[in-house]
Structure 1
Amino acid sequence: MLAKAPETRRLYLQIADKVRALLAQPDFAPGGRLPAERALAEQLGVSRPSVREALVVLELEGLVEIRQGSGVYVCAPAHRDAAAAPAELGELGDSLIDIMNARAVLEGAIAASVAPFCTARSLKGLRAIYETMAREAHAGHIPIATDRAFHVAIAQMTGNEVLVRTVENYYDARHAPLPAKLFGHFENTHTWLTALVEHQAILEALEAHDPIQAQAAMQRHLRLSLERCAAHT
């Protein structure tokens, strides 16, 4: 007997299918509140962050509404009819969990590799980017472009264009529908001021030419970025 082929669809899509089936039950009337993420995760046998991603998929489809500090609610049929169907959503993007974990591995290794050798000129440029980011964050702006420039500048210190393109591609993956919606639920002035402190730690470790601290600071920043997203959805 042939073994069953493994599921190749992204995990968040598999979980979204299961939650969508739950919503079809009579217990979930429009306006009703879904069980807490912890309960859904236990019921489905998956992690809470993965449940969170699946709920955002359903939000993009117009099936649920995620209300900060309140919970997740079933949308009325009129709202569902006006929303995009799953097939119309196109490519939702990779799991934000996978993206941020991959970035932590790659960018942490890059930070460690360049720390002993980065030049005064490259560090001066990186500090200028950081100071621009600080001004933008303190002015209440979301410094996405400057944040991207900061991470790419560190990759450019390697002199390896493949690594630079990879860092750019990983960063730009945040603009796909699923990651963008997740970021949209938590990014605000407070979170960016917190992230600014983490960027300062990365910069200072590089200025000290300390590979261990540079890697640790980069990985800590990316881990905390994911945790902030997880905590606010």
Structure 2
Amino acid sequence: MKSLKKERVSLLVTDAIKEIIDSEHLKPGDKLYSENELANKLEVSRSSVREAVRMLEVTGIVKVFQGKGIFISAPEENDCPIRSWVVDNMELLKEHFEVRLLIEPHAASLAAKWAGKEALAELAAHYSLFCDFVRQKNLVEAIEKDSAFHLLIAKMTKNRTLSVLMNTMTKTLNEGWFASLNMPGRLERTVDEHGEILKALQVGDGVAAARHMTGHLHNALEDIKAYTHI
């Protein structure tokens, strides 16, 4: 198992843990290594492992029992784990999107005003890679580029407090971000929606950037509701 210490994305830890499960032929009901053991084995922080385990639980690959450990889930335990997780955490997801709808449209408007050529070029590069990963159906990298797109817009505002808020949100509900992009067709629709946001920023149209950001977040939440029939 190679070290992940220098990798760009904590989400890659998710794939690394899957690799451990496969390579060690762990079966449903088997106990996985503890968070500390996984962190040492992969040479990453325990917080990165914790986020990865939470996402694996969202997708029904593992089950965490408080005080007992992490266990491999049986397929029959949950035939639709993402839907189940979203239903169980819908109120938290709504709160998450409510805050994002308060912050990100304004961030997009400010970014249109303050973004320089280099920042816009970097954003366009993130968008291009995101599109490539969606076409390749590389979910892990696509999710990383999606969050990077939003974080970079916050950074482009030149408002440090806003950037910190966005960083905090991506870390505190990482599994929610992961679950929302697993909704059928959401990644493909995000390609179009991010494209509209990027175009508005490139021409310095703050009103359009805010409008497209609002629409993007609203559509993502509505997709979640439709998928779970809420």
1:199 to 183, 187, 194: 194
Deviation for aligned residue 1:169: 1.4
Are residues 137 and 181 of structure 1, via their aligned partners in 2, closer, same or farther at CA, if it must alter by over 3 Å?
Answer: closer
Q: Map 1:14-93 onto structure 2 (within 5 A).
A: 67=80
Give the conservation status (yes or no) of the 8 Å contact 2:200–2:206.
Answer: yes
Residue identity over aligned pairs, in percent, reads 24
User: In structure 1, how many angstroms separate the alpha carbons of the residues matched to 2:164 and 2:91?
Assistant: 17
Matched, 1:229 2:224: yes
Residue 87 of structure 1 corresponds to none
TM-score between both structures, scaled by the size of structure 1: 0.56
Which structure 1 segments of 5+ residues have no match?
1-55, 73-91
Secondary structure of the equivalent of 2:118?
helix
SS at 2:113 equivalent = coil
1:217 aligns with 2:216: no
- Shift of the alpha carbon at 1:124? 0.5
Amino acid at match of 1:210: D
8 A contact 2:196–2:212 mirrored in 1: yes
Partner of 1:95, secondary structure, is: helix
**Could you tell me how far 1:166 is from its partner in structure 2?**
0.5
Residue in structure 1 matched with residue 170 of structure 2 by the alignment: 171
Residue 232 of structure 1 aligns to a residue whose secondary structure is: helix
**TM-score normalised over the length of structure 2:** 0.57
Instruction: Report the equivalent of 1:183.
Output: 180
Aligned with 1:139 (options 136, 150, 159): 136
Amino acid at match of 1:221: H
Letter in 2 for 1:214: A
Using a 3 Å threshold, how does the CA distance of structure 1 residues 66 and 171 change in structure 2: closer, same or farther? Answer: same
Counterpart of 2:212, as a letter, is A
Offset at 1:182? 4.9
Q: Secondary structure at the match of 1:116?
A: helix
Letter in 2 for 1:201: E
Deviation at 1:160, TM superposition (A): 2.2
Contact 1:205 / 1:211 at 8 angstroms: preserved in 2?
A: yes
Larger radius of gyration: 1
